[in-house]
Amino acid sequence: MPRLGEHARAGLGPAAAVAVDVAGRAVGGALAGLAWARGGRVVHPHGALHRARLVVDGAAHAPAAAALLRTAAEYRALVRFSRSLGLPRPLPDLLGLSLRVLDAYGDDHHQDILLVSSIDLPILHHVFVPSGDVQRCVYSSSLPYRAGDATFIVGAVPDPRSPRPEGRDELDRLARAASTGRLEFGLAVANVSGRFRRVATIQVEERLAVDDVRFNPFNCGGGIRPVGTLNRLRDYAYPLTQRPWTSRRA
């Protein structure tokens, strides 16, 4: 397993690495304290985990160095939909879509992509936007990825052909739609000032009885990696908030 902050310090000089280490441990420690007090996830506490399949189109506009997004293939996957802040319904919340492409780079070497409800407009896809329906919003990584010389944002867009059944809440409606076998989202990419363009299809399958998968943006490979200062801080926050003590009251 990588050491805490190992990805964050990569490529930095000694002084910058120390600064990032101090800031990252402070942010991660604060979030870990909140997770301990809450007895579970500090963000995205309420969610639903589904089986899924990722079908990659082989689109020419996908980043050339990102083979996972560029080469036509099909993968087993997991996808989790969640309410980020845990606000009481019927209030809208920041909705999350977390995708794990299973064995993307070999046995037990997965690719995680973490997205939050946003807007598919230049610049605005860096902004979080609350929503009350998982099928009526666009999702964005907000923070950038890099593959080779390309820097880009990853997103997910609901497929308008998918069913939209009634249900008790957004996760119940999602489960009903998934049970039809026709629930899909488009996985998309955009440059930092562009619009999302679809590169793959997320086929959402049945809801699982468990919700115990911990996603991390630094579960990555194939030349795809999160970049930027805020992403570096996430390399501390995610491991610290997901350690066993956070589930003491779960």
All domains of the chain in start order, with CATH: 45-226 (2.40.180.10)
d(CA 125, CA 143): 9
Q: How many helices (DSSP H) and strands (DSSP E) are in the chain?
A: 5, 10
Instruction: Report which of 83, 71, 123, 75 is spatially closest to residue 99, judged by C-alpha positions.
Output: 75
CA 9 to chain CA mean position, Å: 22
d(CA 234, CA 4): 11
- Tell me the pTM: 0.78
pLDDT of residue 218: 84
Q: Over pLDDT 70: what percentage of the chain?
A: 73
pLDDT grade, residue 249 (50/70/90)?
very low
pLDDT (tens digit per residue) in 102-118: 999 999 999 999 999 99
Across the range 30-46, mean pLDDT stands at 49
